[in-house]
């Protein structure tokens, strides 16, 4: 398998390392999956949440992918094990496919060993990435602050706020 560079945010790396520590202490049937995740974390580039690109799969990202063998499209949200619910499309980072997509970018093709053999997936689109959403929210808050300082309300698309005149008869 060809290995691409992968990127993981600092907070995700810390949480995932703690998860690995606690999971490896318990007797778990998932030791092979834990070893795969540890290998991925060891080779990952750690980045600040404010510096991670919007096209990188981070924890709690919603991702649209295509199975390269079947052409089937699927959408998953990558979550920590306690939040996993396959029926809702929430896959654990400890599941083989979860470990596989962590840190990859839009357009990357991932080859990964799963219980049924090898799978080849292409990351088509990041539908939601928490870090990108937070960045967008910060930008909007900054714009609203600047608009308020200028006496402009964002609801009026850059036009001055209407002045209300009250007349009493």
Decide if pLDDT at 127 tops 90.
Answer: yes
DSSP 112: E
Rounded-to-integer distance, Cα 19 and Cα 53, Å: 24
Question: In this predicted model, what pLDDT tens digit does every residue of 57-67 receive, in sequence order?
Answer: 999 999 999 99
Q: Give the pLDDT band of residue 21 (cuts 50, 70, 90).
A: confident
Looking at residue 71, its pLDDT comes to 95
Rounded-to-integer distance, Cα 77 and Cα 127, Å: 9
What is the Cα 146 distance to its own chain's centre?
Answer: 30
Does 107 fall in a domain?
Answer: yes
Looking at residue 14, its pLDDT comes to 93
Question: Could you tell me if 64 and 74 are in contact, meaning their C-beta atoms sit under 8 angstroms apart?
Answer: yes
Domain that holds residue 52: 7-132
| Distance (Å) of CA 61 to CA 70, 106, 168 | 23, 12, 56
Residue 87's domain is classified under what CATH number? 3.10.50.30
Does 125 fall in a domain?
Answer: yes
Does 93 fall in a domain?
Answer: yes
What is the Cα 70 distance to its own chain's centre?
Answer: 25
Looking at residue 1, its pLDDT comes to 46
Does 146 fall in a domain?
Answer: no
Name the phi and psi angles at 135, rounded to 5: -60, -45
Q: For residue 68, give the H/E element and its range.
A: none
Overall number of domains in the chain? 1
Question: Could you tell me if 109 and 4 are in contact, meaning their C-beta atoms sit under 8 angstroms apart?
Answer: no
Q: Would you say the pTM of this structure is higher than 0.85?
A: no
Does 167 fall in a domain?
Answer: no
- Name 149's Cβ contacts closer than 8 Å, sequence gap at least 6: none
What is the Cα 75 distance to its own chain's centre?
Answer: 12
Q: How many residues does the chain have?
A: 169
Decide if pLDDT at 123 tops 90.
Answer: yes
């Amino acid at each position: 398998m060809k290995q691409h560079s992968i990127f993981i945010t600092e907070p995700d790396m810390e949480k995932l390392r703690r998860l690995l520590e606690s999971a490896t202490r318990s007797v778990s049937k998932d030791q092979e999956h834990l070893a795969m995740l540890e290998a991925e974390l060891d080779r990952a580039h750690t980045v600040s949440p404010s510096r991670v690109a919007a096209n990188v799969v981070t924890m709690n990202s919603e991702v649209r992918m295509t199975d390269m063998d079947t052409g089937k499209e699927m959408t998953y949200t990558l979550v920590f094990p306690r939040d996993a619910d396959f029926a809702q499309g929430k896959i654990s980072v400890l599941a083989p496919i979860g470990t596989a997509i962590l840190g990859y970018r839009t357009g990357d093709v991932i080859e990964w060993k799963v219980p049924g053999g090898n799978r080849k997936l292409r990351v088509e689109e990041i539908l939601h990435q928490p870090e990108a959403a937070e960045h967008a929210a910060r930008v909007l808050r900054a714009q609203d602050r600047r608009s308020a300082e200028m006496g402009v309300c964002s609801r009026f698309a850059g036009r001055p706020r209407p002045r209300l005149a009250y007349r009493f008869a």
